[in-house]
């Protein structure tokens, strides 16, 4: 259990390997439920999750788009959206899935794990279709992101951030404190 | 300071009025920095924030698109994205802004405030342009969301959520635990 701002500070995109230590199912469920608690545009709740609670199920999805994370993670969450849940006047699928994914990443950190937001491997139409078939997704669903979860195998690399002072202004754009 | 899962559980979209109690600037900065700590596609860091630390600055932006929240909030964060920061092969602006917005919402809750994700008021092109002018945003920027922040004036309403069991599956879509 971790304080909110500590989780935000400790989160990073773990692009390297994971240790084989299993993630208890109650931890994975807690992480997933944090994702489902995120806000959604017009309360459409278009996000659906498939929990992959062991190496075998992670490896099965890994076949669609191998990455270092998916090849080693002891657990993962696959996040899909249901386009039919959207209101005609605006589609909030991307915002909805991103807010849910961020909650999942922070929840993983809060329970002592590392994770990473894997979306681009599934931009490729063939890999997307393969992954949807493996997951048994209904027609009209899109696999938006897969989040491998586990203990990191070594310290992961962190990319640099632009100083906050250059991205945060007061009352008007460009005005410093 | 609040534990992560508690913040997730307590967060809701506060669509009603706020109390006039000011939000100390160091709180608002802490909330904004949590937003800037969110992950971004290809590390583009396209999100920029304009802090509105008092009623006067909130009211100025409120003119572009009045809501109960903006008419009463003692502080707010305006979140813009810079399209020029995107890589040509994929645009991650929506995912990036949504992850940052979610961090901001949870940070507000962690410090005892309520907030709400106001995006649709700025979908209208005229209101968008008015708001960008008020904020002094450079060419090529989009105002994605405004997050009023303060103590809620009364208990806000919460919309119902589909039970987690209907949105969360095991190994394959549709399979319950």
d(CA A92, CA A99): 11
pLDDT reported for residue B99:
98
* Interface contact flag, B94 A97, Cβ < 8 Å: no
CB-CB neighbors (< 8 A) of A29 in chain B:
168
What is the spatial distance between Cα B146 and Cα B64, in angstroms, rounded to a whole number? 11
Helix, strand, coil content of chain A in percent (nearest 5): 40, 20, 40
Q: Which candidate from B8, B137, B169 shows the least CB-CB separation from A37?
A: B8
Q: Which residues does chain B have within 8 Å of residue A103's beta carbon, measured at their own beta carbons?
A: 8, 102, 106
Mean pLDDT value of segment B142-164: 95
Given this model, what pLDDT does residue A63 score? 97
Asked whether B15 and A132 are in contact (CB, 8 A), the reply is: no
Average confidence score pLDDT of chain B: 97
A131 to chain B, closest Cα gap in Å: 11
Report percent pLDDT > 70 for chain A. 100
Chain B residues lying within 8 Å of A146, measured CB to CB: none
Does A4 contact B2 at a Cβ distance shorter than 8 Å? yes
How confident is the model over A26-49, as a mean pLDDT? 97
Nearest CA in chain A to B131: A172
Q: State the smallest CA–CA distance between residue B176 and chain A in angstroms.
A: 10
Q: Enumerate residues 6+ apart whose C-beta is below 8 A from A43.
A: B159, B160
Q: How confident is the model at residue B144 (pLDDT cuts 50, 70, 90)?
A: very high
Burial class of B134 by CB neighbour count within 10 A (0 to 12, 13 to 18, 19+)? buried
Residue of B nearest to A59 (CA): B171
- Identify the band that residue B162 occupies on the pLDDT scale cut at 50, 70 and 90: very high
Nearest in space to A52 (alpha carbons), one of A15, A79, A81: A79
- The confidence score (pLDDT) of residue B88 equals 83
pLDDT tens for each residue of B5-44: 999 999 999 999 999 999 999 999 999 999 999 999 999 9
For the question of whether the overall pTM of this predicted structure is more than 0.95, the answer is yes
Q: Give the confidence band of B87 by pLDDT, cuts at 50, 70, 90.
A: confident
Q: Which residues of A fall within a CB distance of 8 Å from B167?
A: 36, 45, 47-49
Q: Which residues in chain A touch residue B97, judged by CB atoms under 8 angstroms apart?
A: 95
Per-residue pLDDT tens over the stretch A71-130: 999 999 999 999 998 888 999 999 999 999 999 999 999 999 999 999 999 999 999 999
DSSP letter string over A104-133? HHHHHHHTT-EE--B-GGGTSHHHHHHHHH
Mean pLDDT of all residues belonging to chain A: 97
- Both tokens of A35, joined, read 């994702």
Decide if B167 and A29 are in contact by the 8 Å CB cutoff. Answer: no
**Is residue A135 within 8 Å of A129, Cβ to Cβ?**
no
| Residue bearing the bigger pLDDT, B151 or B155 | B151
Task: Say if residues B87 and B94 touch (Cβ distance below 8 Å).
Answer: no
Question: Is a pLDDT exceeding 90 seen at residue A173?
Answer: yes
Q: Is it the case that residue B1 has pLDDT exceeding 90?
A: no
CA-based nearest residue in chain B for residue A168: B49
| CB neighbours of residue A87 within 10 Å | 11
What pLDDT shows up at residue A4? 98
User: CA B51, CA B74: separation in Å to the nearest integer?
Assistant: 11
Predicted interface score ipTM higher than 0.95: yes
pLDDT in tens, A39-52: 999 999 999 999 99
Residue B86 pLDDT more than 90?
Answer: no
């Amino acid at each position: 259990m971790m304080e909110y701002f500590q989780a935000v500070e400790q989160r990073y995109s773990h692009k390297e390997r994971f240790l084989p230590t299993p993630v208890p199912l109650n931890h994975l469920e807690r992480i997933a439920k944090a994702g489902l608690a995120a806000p959604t545009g017009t309360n459409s709740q278009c996000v659906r999750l498939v929990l992959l609670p062991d190496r075998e199920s992670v490896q099965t999805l890994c076949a669609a788009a191998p990455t270092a994370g998916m090849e080693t993670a002891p657990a993962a969450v696959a996040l899909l959206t249901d386009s039919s849940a959207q209101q005609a006047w605006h589609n909030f699928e991307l915002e909805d899935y991103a807010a849910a994914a961020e909650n999942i990443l922070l929840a993983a950190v809060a329970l002592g794990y590392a994770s990473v937001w894997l979306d681009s491997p599934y931009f490729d139409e063939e890999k997307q279709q393969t992954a949807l078939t493996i997951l048994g997704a209904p027609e009209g669903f899109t696999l938006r992101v897969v989040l491998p979860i586990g203990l990191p195998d070594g310290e992961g690399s962190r990319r640099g951030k632009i100083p906050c002072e250059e991205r945060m202004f007061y009352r008007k754009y460009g005005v410093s404190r």
